[in-house]
Structure 1
Amino acid sequence: MNDPVELVPLFVVFNNTHYKKILELLDNNWMTCAELCDVIGRDYVRDGLLLLRKGNLVEEKWRMPEPGKKPEKEYRTNYSKVRANFQCDFSDLGDLLTIAFANGEDLRMKGDSVEAELSRGNSSIKDIARKFGVSPVFIKGIAKRIPHLDVKGQGLVVLDE
């Protein structure tokens, strides 16, 4: 881990029992989305896998199907240990911890505002941060928290499944 923003998906995963269970299951086996849904439930698998992929915590490959069936992606964890090498201001770290552990309406409203800016065509992290009067690290943290958004270079992107 070289960027403190990468902590957000990791903390979100460990703060949710369903996402943590997905990580634990994938630590031992290659599993498809359907297999995970059978164990965890359909409601949590999609967002859980998006967060794990965004945090670079899982790898994926195609499972060869039985004749006449479609191939499926299967997943497994990449790492079993964490190594962090970054430095940041306490205020940025505080923002990232707040974003990772908050579940309130305030966080939802900020996330909706960021998504609205992105839908208007403004993907620049610095421009969005300036508009809302927050730091670029805060905007990056929000993007790492929302399963279908991510940071690419100096901008935000919507993730494909």
Structure 2
Amino acid sequence: MVKRAKLVNDIVELVPILHIFSTNLYRNVYETLLTEWLTLDELFERFGDGVEEALRILKHAGMLEMKWRMPSEPSGKPEKEYHVSYTHLSANFYASLRDLNRILEIVFMPDDEFEEIVSKIIKEVKAGRMSVPHISRSLGLEPLVIRAVAKRSLKLNIKGQLVELAKNEEI
């Protein structure tokens, strides 16, 4: 196993990484992909439903590698196979314990409460209000919370101080 470190320069970047370890399924997919290259079908065989979401979270965290596996039969189609190569974390940020607590609250927030905040942010973005400070004022939430929610959600992307709707990309 190659030892590589994921560089984290902002506390908000921890959200998808910690989210990977929030359920047994996500954690098992991560640990399996550390040692093996597997296709989506092979992952479904091992873990069942929820594998696609685990892969999306890994991709959102910037930790998923993909390559094409050539078929063993000439008439077969190539398939994507996935791997995770980060075994360590290198963090370079300064944050208060209060901010760290907020990040952890968002990572482990119940799905219904989380989706409620996401839908409010999506309404703001669709109305053309994409800046984190504006959304923060409008919803009465801290900018850190807006950024962390956007980082955890697979429906949103955060780019600097802007929140955008995520494109429905193939994994």
Please state which band the TM-score falls in when normalised by the shorter chain: 0.7 to 0.9
Identity %: 37
RMSD: 1.8
Paired residue for 2:75? 68
Distance 1:70 1:148 in 2: 30
Please tell me the residue identity of whatever aligns with 1:9: P
Which runs of 5 or more structure 1 residues have no equivalent in the other structure?
none
**Where do residues 1-161 of structure 1 align in structure 2 (5 Å cutoff)?**
1-41=8-48, 43-65=49-71, 66-103=73-110, 105-157=112-164, 158-159=166-167, 160-161=169-170
SS of the counterpart of 2:135?
A: helix
- Residue 125 and residue 69 in structure 1: after superposition, are their counterparts in 2 closer, same or farther (change >3 A)? farther
Please tell me the residue identity of whatever aligns with 2:50: Y
Could you report, residue by residue, the CA deviation over 1:110-148 in whole angstroms, capped at 9, with x for unpaired residues? 122112223334332222122112222211110121123
TM-score (norm 2): 0.83
Paired residue for 2:4? none
Distance 1:126 1:107 in 2: 19
Could you report, residue by residue, the CA deviation over 1:28-50 in whole angstroms, capped at 9, with x for unpaired residues? 11111121111111x31121111
SS of the counterpart of 2:157?
A: strand
> How much does 1:154 deviate?
2.3
- Residue 70 and residue 92 in structure 1: after superposition, are their counterparts in 2 closer, same or farther (change >3 A)? same
Contact conserved, 1:92 with 1:138, CA < 8 A, in 2?
A: no
Distance 2:98 2:130 in 1: 24
SS of the counterpart of 2:99?
A: helix
Aligned length: 160
SS of the counterpart of 2:89?
A: coil
Larger strand proportion of the pair: 2
Which runs of 5 or more structure 2 residues have no equivalent in the other structure?
1-7
SS of the counterpart of 1:83?
A: strand
Q: Which is greater in Rg?
A: 2
